[in-house]
Amino acid sequence: MVNFSERINSGLGQLDERDILSHYDAIMNVMIDLGMYRGHSKKPAGEIIKTMENVRVMPTKRGFWKRYVDIGAKVASGQHLASVLNVRGDEVERLVAPFTGIVLYLRGFGLVDPMSHKLGHRYGINVGRYP
């Protein structure tokens, strides 16, 4: 099983070697299955979780990001996932799970500025519906 908490601090938009190799293996499996490449498919090392729906929970306030869950965490509907804090450390926004699911993506740390359109896709938490 992948230890998701080790991967959180790897940086936004950056992949570590395990991520790159997982993507490589997945692409090779597809090519082998389609007969485009010879070889044997590799089975994934960890559990495969399928979600039929996912939602990005986005902050609307500017401030400091504080998370309360990790990637891979199973969460309940309405559970507190993260907060946006002002310079005094007061919570100005609370982000909660829209349904029972699993955290697929999560901003790890830093400042939040939803008004910055250039980096807007990097904000928030993606939750996949999971029984």
pLDDT digit string, tens, across residues 68-125: 999 889 999 999 999 999 999 999 999 999 999 999 888 777 888 877 655 555 678 9
pLDDT on residue 4:
43
pTM for the predicted model, two decimal places: 0.68
The Cβ-side half-sphere exposure at 32, using a 13 Å CA radius, reads 12
Same domain membership, residue 101 and residue 69 = yes
pLDDT on residue 45:
76
Same domain membership, residue 41 and residue 56 = no
Query: Distance (Å, rounded) from C-alpha 30 to C-alpha 119?
Result: 32
pLDDT on residue 107:
79
Same domain membership, residue 59 and residue 87 = yes
Whole domain around residue 108: which residue ranges?
A: 50-131
Same domain membership, residue 41 and residue 54 = no
Same domain membership, residue 35 and residue 54 = no
* CATH number, domain containing residue 126: 2.40.50.100
Measure CA of the first residue to CA of the last residue in the chain; give whole Å. 19
Same domain membership, residue 84 and residue 115 = yes
Same domain membership, residue 117 and residue 58 = yes
Question: Taking 70 as the threshold, does the pLDDT of residue 9 lie above it?
Answer: no
